[in-house]
Amino acid sequence: MNLWNKLMCYSRRHSPWLFHMNGGSCNGCDIELIASLTPRYDAEQLGVRLEGSPRHADILCITGPVTHNAVNAIKTVYDQVCGPKAVVAIGSCPATTNVFIDSRTLDGPLNRHVPVDVFVPGCPPRPDAIIQGIAKAAEILAERAAKKLPVAPVVMPLVGPGCEGACPCAATTETKNEEVRA
């Protein structure tokens, strides 16, 4: 790997720009995503910037269980993000559709429509878990710059008290997906 590629990898890991999209979320995860940018958590230390336009973004942060209304919007915005790009599914909803499973208004989970790189479970996940997920996605971006093979989706561990067993967590993601497809 030559010097330019090394510099590019390093830059991609240190400058993840986000585009935040709501796919029918209850707004809980959206609040937590904003909280991760506020003075208490200050994601800008990692170079994170919340961008207004999907054209500027590297990482697409999607919340919500993906309603029928949101599907086309999510696909359009995913195509508008310029490559290399990564998708972070924030909360349990985009991973499993959570408590809204079997609802006839849903077309989830998210990975039926766009490839997801990082799942951040939690209902809602804590801001530090979201920052961890974004940092992981930035690493994936850097690996893409280094022309390595596409990496498998990463499921982040649950962070914080009171989450154990109460909400659908990483272990149940696969089974829930199968149920939705069936």
Partner 1 sequence: MITPEIWNSLTTALARLLIFPGLLFAVPAAWFFLWVERKAVARMQGRIGPPFMQPFFDFIKLLGKSTPPRNGVGGLLMRAWPLIAVSAAAGAVGLLPVLPASGGFEGDLILLLALLEVPSMCIIAAGFSSGSIFGEIGSAREAVLSVSYNIVFLLAIISIAASQHTFSLQALAQLPASPLRWLGIVAILVCLPAKLHLNPFSLPNAEQEIYSGPMTEYAGPELAMWELSHGLEWVAATGLAATLIAPALTLWWVAALVFVALTFAIVLLLSVVAAATARLQIDTTVRFYWQCTLIFAVLAVASALFMRFRA
Could you list the residues that contact partner 1 (CB under 8 A)? 7-8, 10-12, 14-15, 17, 39, 42, 44-45, 47, 49-53, 55-56, 58, 80, 82-84, 145
Compare residues 15 and 172 and give the one whose CB is closer to partner 1.
15
The distance of closest approach from Cβ of residue 9 to partner 1 in the complex, given in angstroms and rounded to an integer, is 9
Compare residues 80 and 172 and give the one whose CB is closer to partner 1.
80
Compare residues 97 and 132 and give the one whose CB is closer to partner 1.
132
Compare residues 28 and 84 and give the one whose CB is closer to partner 1.
84
The distance of closest approach from Cβ of residue 40 to partner 1 in the complex, given in angstroms and rounded to an integer, is 9
DSSP the chain: --HHHHHHHHHHHH-PEEEEEESS--SHHHHHHHHTTSTTT-GGGGT-EE-SSGGG-SEEEEES--BHHHHHHHHHHHHHSPSS-EEEEESHHHHH-GGGTT-TTB---GGGTS--SEEE-SSSPPHHHHHHHHHHHHHHHHHHHTTPPPPPPEEPPP-STT-TTTS--GGGHHHHHHHHH-
* Backbone Cα Rg of the chain: 16
Compare residues 7 and 171 and give the one whose CB is closer to partner 1.
7
The token duo for 99 is 């408590």
